[in-house]
Amino acid sequence: MNIKISNQNLTISQAQQKVDEWIKSIGVKYFSELTNTAILMEEVGELARIMARKYGDQSFKANETDTDLADEMADVLWVLICLANQTGVDLTEAFIKNMEKKTWRDAKRHKQNTKLT
């Protein structure tokens, strides 16, 4: 299977399809949902490590050279897409519903938060 990845704007649905194509042609098969959940936690931890050092109070250790924030975020997104594909979640639909929920729920909440003004 030919998987063409270019510098194009991908929809969430297209990203889900690209990951599925990659898994089925190069990755052989999806890891189990439980394994992918553990991998997601690992990837989030790697992202958190960089965030704590780059934007937080921690400093990088002398031997820490891999600090590609974008790559770590992409790793998190990749595994999240894998989990969505495995469990039949349409991330586009889920994202739209989630935005609607947040908009309704938080319509006044953040504007009334004195910590944010």
Domain holding 31: CATH number? 1.10.287.1080
Within a domain: 4 = no
Within a domain: 108 = no
Cα distances from 30 to residues 6, 24, 65, 87, 112, in angstroms, run 23, 8, 30, 11, 45
104: its two tokens: 């309704």
What pLDDT score does 81 carry?
A: 98
Within a domain: 101 = no
Number of separate domains in the chain: 1
**Alpha-carbon gap, residue 14 to 5, rounded angstroms:** 11
CA–CA–CA angle 36, 40, 41 (5° rounding): 120
Domain hosting 43: range is 12-90
Within a domain: 86 = yes
Within a domain: 34 = yes
Record the pTM: 0.86
Query: In terms of C-beta density within 10 A (0-12 exposed, 13-18 middle, 19 or more buried), how is residue 101 classed?
Result: exposed
Q: What is the pLDDT of residues 32-58, one digit of tens each?
A: 999 999 999 999 999 999 999 999 998
What pLDDT score does 111 carry?
A: 87
Within a domain: 106 = no
30: its two tokens: 């999806």
